[in-house]
Homo-oligomer: A and B are copies of this chain.
Amino acid sequence: MERRDFLTTAGIGAAASVLAAPAIAQSAPQIKWRCTSSFPKSLDTIFATSEAVAKRVAEMTDNKFQIQMFAANEIVPGLAAADAVSNKTVEMAHTATYYYVGKDPAFAIPCCIPFGLNARQQNAWLYEGGGGELANEFFKKYNFIGFPCGNTGAQMGGWFRKEIKSVADLQNLKFRIAGIAGQISAKLGVVPQQTAGGEIYPALEKGTIDGAEWVGPYDDEKLGFSKIAPYYYYPAWWEGGPTLHMLVNLESWAELPASYKAAIQAATAEGNQMMLAKYDRLNPQALKRLVAAGTRLLPFPDDVMEASFKAAEEVYADLSAKNADFKKMYEALKEFRGEEVLWFQFAEGFFDRFMFQLQRRKAI
């Protein structure tokens, strides 16, 4: 059917089909893929990015390569997206690889780790600094290849019912936080909670949990946390610049003609940049609305930041000792981070800081 569809589209008469089919079918076959997202449509910035990638691929291939997007739970649950690509239930998934730290903690690194890189530095590492190659070497074990596709920028540290004045206030605090960040928080006395997006609000309202991190102002505002947990902390030291990925099953990837592979590479790179631009546009407006409505915006206290960093270092030492894949990627990321953080404090950091000063005294 596929070859026949293509031939009809291309307007080639039946007499030519035997001769024409093989070469054409090879260079521009009709292909339909399914892509499962780890995210609900309500995270519209994220879901719109995956839809834009699918649309762009279709446009570039004259609708011959079609990728149909499915929200979380339409085919498989959000956290089963990587498995669905591994076993070829779907050809593609839009996900955050740190969701899979239960399979292997190394999955966190291509997405982000606490006190890791910011969004721009993570791009530099993944695209130009060898990080993408290391990630794909690791992903190969799971039968997929990954393409960076979306970043939120540094996230907010979350919503709390009570003020956090020091590390002491974290003792026995039931905080919705997952993965490696949860492990690190536990070392500070936090009791990490695994709570699905839709269950956070009622849990916070009832006091089943004391606080919850989600994304940033734009997404957080929609869930209404400000009404029941007035203290909004920054930053999410665990998410300085999380990178989402499009994961593609390796056999499906191998079957693509070169032009379709190139289309996926360009469209995902475009999507990667687009999602960050969307958040950067939407977050300030949401933040202003939240603060106007009474949200108290506060930085985590210094001792919380310092103790979290110390705990993170302990967790990384422990993970590196036990897991060669984690160690290899972590060491590479750490070396890259040293260079980036050194450089960013000069031209980049000074420029930003000066603009912040102007803004605070209302000169801009």
Write the chain B residue with the least CB distance to A27.
B62
Interface of A is mostly: helix
Out of B24, B235, B360, name the residue touching A10 (CB < 8 Å): B24
Cβ contacts under 8 Å, A358 to chain B: 115, 309, 341
Out of B56, B61, B125, B346, name the residue touching A235 (CB < 8 Å): B346
Distance, CA A10 to CA B259, complexed state (A): 14
Identify which of A56, A60, A259, A287 gathers the most chain B CB atoms within 10 Å of its CB: A60
Q: A154-B347, A352-B344 are in contact. Are A285 and B56 (CB under 8 A)?
A: no
CB of A320 within 8 A of chain B? no
Distance, CA A182 to CA B354, complexed state (A): 20
Contact residues of A between 117 and 155, Cβ < 8 Å to B: 118-121, 123-125, 127-129, 153-155
Interface CB pairs A-B, < 8 A, 18: A12-B20, A13-B16, A15-B15, A15-B16, A27-B62, A56-B265, A62-B259, A120-B153, A120-B277, A123-B273, A124-B280, A216-B347, A235-B347, A266-B266, A269-B274, A272-B273, A299-B346, A309-B358
With A11-B20, A120-B276, A309-B354 given, can you name 7 additional A-B contacts, CB distance below 8 Å? A15-B19, A16-B19, A16-B20, A59-B258, A60-B259, A128-B278, A269-B273
Kindly list the 4 A-B residue pairs having the minimum CB-CB distance in the complex, ordered from nearest.
A16-B16, A11-B23, A59-B262, A124-B280
What is the interface of chain A, defined by CB distance below 8 A to chain B?
Answer: 10-13, 15-16, 19-20, 22-24, 27-28, 56, 59-62, 115, 118-121, 123-125, 127-129, 153-157, 216-217, 234-237, 240, 257-259, 262-263, 265-267, 269-270, 272-274, 276-278, 280-281, 283-285, 287-288, 297, 299, 305, 309, 334, 337-356, 358-360, 363-364
